Amino acid sequence: MKTPERGAAMKEFPLQKVFTLIEPGPVLLLTTAAGRRKNIMTLSWSMVMDFSGNIAIVTGSWNHSFEALMKTGECVLAVPGADLMETVIGIGTCSGADTDKFGAFGLTAKKGGEVGAPLIGECLANIECRVADYVEAHSLIVLSAVRAWTNPDRGERRTFHAVGDGTFVIDGRHVRNLRARMESKLPPGV
Protein backbone atom coordinates (compact mmCIF):
# COMPACT_ATOMS: atom_id res chain seq x y z
CA MET A 1 0.00 0.00 0.00
CA LYS A 2 1.25 3.54 -0.85
CA THR A 3 2.36 5.89 1.97
CA PRO A 4 -0.28 8.60 2.53
CA GLU A 5 0.72 12.12 1.44
CA ARG A 6 1.88 14.35 4.31
CA GLY A 7 1.19 17.96 5.16
CA ALA A 8 0.19 19.48 1.82
CA ALA A 9 -1.05 23.06 2.39
CA MET A 10 -4.71 23.29 3.55
CA LYS A 11 -6.92 25.78 1.77
CA GLU A 12 -9.93 27.37 3.50
CA PHE A 13 -13.28 26.01 2.30
CA PRO A 14 -16.58 27.97 2.34
CA LEU A 15 -18.93 26.92 5.17
CA GLN A 16 -22.01 26.92 2.95
CA LYS A 17 -20.41 24.16 0.90
CA VAL A 18 -19.25 21.95 3.79
CA PHE A 19 -22.04 19.44 3.17
CA THR A 20 -20.56 18.66 -0.25
CA LEU A 21 -17.46 17.26 1.51
CA ILE A 22 -19.41 14.58 3.37
CA GLU A 23 -22.77 14.30 1.61
CA PRO A 24 -23.75 10.71 2.36
CA GLY A 25 -24.95 8.10 -0.02
CA PRO A 26 -26.13 6.03 -1.63
CA VAL A 27 -28.93 7.97 -3.25
CA LEU A 28 -32.17 6.24 -2.23
CA LEU A 29 -35.78 6.13 -3.35
CA LEU A 30 -38.53 6.38 -0.75
CA THR A 31 -41.95 4.98 -1.54
CA THR A 32 -45.21 5.68 0.25
CA ALA A 33 -48.82 4.60 -0.22
CA ALA A 34 -51.70 6.78 0.86
CA GLY A 35 -54.69 4.51 0.31
CA ARG A 36 -54.30 3.24 -3.26
CA ARG A 37 -52.10 6.15 -4.32
CA LYS A 38 -48.47 5.15 -4.47
CA ASN A 39 -45.62 7.64 -4.75
CA ILE A 40 -41.82 7.76 -4.94
CA MET A 41 -39.31 10.47 -4.03
CA THR A 42 -35.53 10.65 -4.30
CA LEU A 43 -33.53 11.00 -1.10
CA SER A 44 -29.82 11.58 -0.56
CA TRP A 45 -29.89 12.76 3.08
CA SER A 46 -29.90 9.57 5.12
CA MET A 47 -27.80 8.15 7.93
CA VAL A 48 -27.40 4.70 9.46
CA MET A 49 -27.87 5.09 13.23
CA ASP A 50 -27.04 1.64 14.62
CA PHE A 51 -26.67 -2.03 13.71
CA SER A 52 -30.37 -2.82 14.25
CA GLY A 53 -31.85 -0.99 11.27
CA ASN A 54 -32.62 2.50 12.57
CA ILE A 55 -32.06 4.98 9.76
CA ALA A 56 -32.45 8.77 9.90
CA ILE A 57 -33.68 10.71 6.88
CA VAL A 58 -34.31 14.39 6.29
CA THR A 59 -37.46 15.52 4.51
CA GLY A 60 -40.52 17.66 5.14
CA SER A 61 -43.81 19.11 4.02
CA TRP A 62 -42.24 20.72 0.94
CA ASN A 63 -42.52 17.24 -0.60
CA HIS A 64 -45.79 15.52 -1.47
CA SER A 65 -44.49 12.24 0.04
CA PHE A 66 -44.26 13.74 3.52
CA GLU A 67 -48.01 13.75 4.20
CA ALA A 68 -48.40 10.08 3.28
CA LEU A 69 -45.29 9.16 5.26
CA MET A 70 -46.55 10.85 8.42
CA LYS A 71 -50.16 9.73 7.99
CA THR A 72 -49.38 6.04 7.44
CA GLY A 73 -46.14 5.94 9.45
CA GLU A 74 -44.71 3.64 6.80
CA CYS A 75 -42.40 3.71 3.80
CA VAL A 76 -39.92 1.67 1.81
CA LEU A 77 -36.32 2.79 1.27
CA ALA A 78 -35.21 1.33 -2.05
CA VAL A 79 -31.57 1.25 -3.17
CA PRO A 80 -31.21 1.95 -6.90
CA GLY A 81 -28.20 0.82 -8.92
CA ALA A 82 -26.18 3.16 -11.11
CA ASP A 83 -28.20 1.98 -14.14
CA LEU A 84 -31.20 3.88 -12.69
CA MET A 85 -29.42 7.23 -12.23
CA GLU A 86 -31.41 9.18 -14.82
CA THR A 87 -34.70 7.70 -13.60
CA VAL A 88 -33.84 8.58 -9.99
CA ILE A 89 -33.08 12.18 -10.91
CA GLY A 90 -36.34 12.34 -12.90
CA ILE A 91 -38.25 11.07 -9.83
CA GLY A 92 -36.56 13.68 -7.65
CA THR A 93 -37.40 16.57 -9.94
CA CYS A 94 -41.17 16.10 -10.25
CA SER A 95 -43.97 15.68 -7.73
CA GLY A 96 -46.44 12.94 -6.96
CA ALA A 97 -48.97 15.73 -6.50
CA ASP A 98 -49.46 15.73 -10.28
CA THR A 99 -47.53 12.70 -11.56
CA ASP A 100 -48.01 8.95 -11.20
CA LYS A 101 -44.28 8.27 -10.88
CA PHE A 102 -44.48 4.46 -11.03
CA GLY A 103 -46.28 4.79 -14.38
CA ALA A 104 -44.24 7.74 -15.71
CA PHE A 105 -40.87 6.10 -14.98
CA GLY A 106 -41.89 2.52 -15.82
CA LEU A 107 -41.06 1.06 -12.41
CA THR A 108 -42.65 -2.04 -10.92
CA ALA A 109 -44.45 -1.68 -7.59
CA LYS A 110 -44.27 -4.95 -5.64
CA LYS A 111 -46.09 -5.87 -2.47
CA GLY A 112 -43.92 -6.03 0.63
CA GLY A 113 -44.46 -8.22 3.65
CA GLU A 114 -45.01 -5.71 6.44
CA VAL A 115 -45.91 -2.24 5.21
CA GLY A 116 -48.40 -0.83 2.70
CA ALA A 117 -45.76 1.14 0.76
CA PRO A 118 -44.54 -0.75 -2.31
CA LEU A 119 -41.12 -2.27 -3.00
CA ILE A 120 -39.50 -1.23 -6.31
CA GLY A 121 -38.80 -4.30 -8.44
CA GLU A 122 -35.91 -2.69 -10.37
CA CYS A 123 -33.90 -1.77 -7.25
CA LEU A 124 -30.96 -3.65 -5.69
CA ALA A 125 -32.57 -3.71 -2.24
CA ASN A 126 -35.78 -2.65 -0.51
CA ILE A 127 -36.08 -1.87 3.21
CA GLU A 128 -39.58 -1.78 4.68
CA CYS A 129 -39.69 0.83 7.45
CA ARG A 130 -41.92 2.33 10.11
CA VAL A 131 -41.57 5.88 11.41
CA ALA A 132 -40.08 5.72 14.92
CA ASP A 133 -39.51 9.40 15.62
CA TYR A 134 -39.81 12.88 14.11
CA VAL A 135 -37.66 15.83 15.14
CA GLU A 136 -39.56 18.67 13.52
CA ALA A 137 -36.97 21.39 14.22
CA HIS A 138 -34.54 19.58 11.95
CA SER A 139 -37.00 17.86 9.59
CA LEU A 140 -35.39 14.64 10.79
CA ILE A 141 -37.33 11.40 10.66
CA VAL A 142 -36.06 8.23 12.31
CA LEU A 143 -37.15 5.09 10.51
CA SER A 144 -36.99 1.55 11.90
CA ALA A 145 -36.47 -1.22 9.37
CA VAL A 146 -39.00 -4.02 9.86
CA ARG A 147 -38.15 -6.24 6.86
CA ALA A 148 -35.64 -6.12 4.03
CA TRP A 149 -35.17 -7.67 0.61
CA THR A 150 -32.31 -7.82 -1.89
CA ASN A 151 -32.35 -8.63 -5.56
CA PRO A 152 -29.31 -10.79 -6.42
CA ASP A 153 -30.33 -10.99 -10.10
CA ARG A 154 -29.59 -7.34 -10.95
CA GLY A 155 -26.48 -7.09 -13.11
CA GLU A 156 -25.52 -3.53 -12.08
CA ARG A 157 -24.39 -3.79 -8.44
CA ARG A 158 -22.89 -0.30 -8.07
CA THR A 159 -24.80 2.36 -6.14
CA PHE A 160 -24.34 6.09 -6.68
CA HIS A 161 -23.84 9.04 -4.36
CA ALA A 162 -24.90 12.68 -4.59
CA VAL A 163 -22.10 15.17 -3.98
CA GLY A 164 -24.71 17.89 -3.38
CA ASP A 165 -23.63 20.23 -6.16
CA GLY A 166 -25.59 18.45 -8.88
CA THR A 167 -22.84 15.91 -9.57
CA PHE A 168 -22.74 12.23 -8.63
CA VAL A 169 -20.13 9.62 -7.78
CA ILE A 170 -20.57 5.99 -8.80
CA ASP A 171 -19.10 3.33 -6.47
CA GLY A 172 -15.54 2.41 -7.25
CA ARG A 173 -13.12 -0.26 -6.05
CA HIS A 174 -14.37 -2.55 -3.27
CA VAL A 175 -11.55 -2.85 -0.71
CA ARG A 176 -11.61 -6.21 1.13
CA ASN A 177 -8.08 -6.66 2.48
CA LEU A 178 -8.62 -4.66 5.73
CA ARG A 179 -11.55 -6.79 6.90
CA ALA A 180 -9.54 -8.90 9.37
CA ARG A 181 -8.53 -5.71 11.22
CA MET A 182 -12.19 -4.59 11.38
CA GLU A 183 -13.45 -7.79 13.04
CA SER A 184 -13.70 -6.37 16.59
CA LYS A 185 -15.91 -3.53 15.28
CA LEU A 186 -18.42 -5.69 13.42
CA PRO A 187 -21.62 -7.16 14.88
CA PRO A 188 -21.99 -10.97 14.79
CA GLY A 189 -23.13 -12.36 11.44
CA VAL A 190 -21.97 -9.48 9.25
- For residue 61, the Cα-to-chain-centroid distance in whole angstroms is 18
Q: Which residue is nearest to ligand FMN (CB)?
A: 92
Q: How far is the CB of 76 from ligand FMN (least distance, A)?
A: 14
What residue ranges bind ligand FMN (CB under 6 A)? 27, 39, 41-45, 58-59, 63-65, 89, 92-97, 162
- Closest CB to ligand FMN among residues 97, 186: 97
- Closest CB to ligand FMN among residues 27, 84: 27
Helices marked H in 93-174: 101-104
66, amino acid identity:
F
- Closest CB to ligand FMN among residues 27, 174: 27
Q: How far is the CB of 153 from ligand FMN (least distance, A)?
A: 25
- Closest CB to ligand FMN among residues 43, 125: 43
Instruction: Name residue 130's beta-bridge partners.
Output: 74, 144
> What's the residue count for the chain?
190
- Closest CB to ligand FMN among residues 45, 149: 45
Taking residue 151's Cβ as centre, other Cβ atoms within 10 Å add up to 16
132, amino acid identity:
A
73, amino acid identity:
G
Q: How far is the CB of 59 from ligand FMN (least distance, A)?
A: 3
Whole-angstrom distance, CA of residue 129 vs CA of residue 111: 14
To the nearest 10°, report the CA torsion of 129, 130, 136, 139: 10
Taking residue 83's Cβ as centre, other Cβ atoms within 10 Å add up to 15
Q: How far is the CB of 136 from ligand FMN (least distance, A)?
A: 14
To the nearest 10°, report the CA torsion of 127, 25, 66, 87: -90
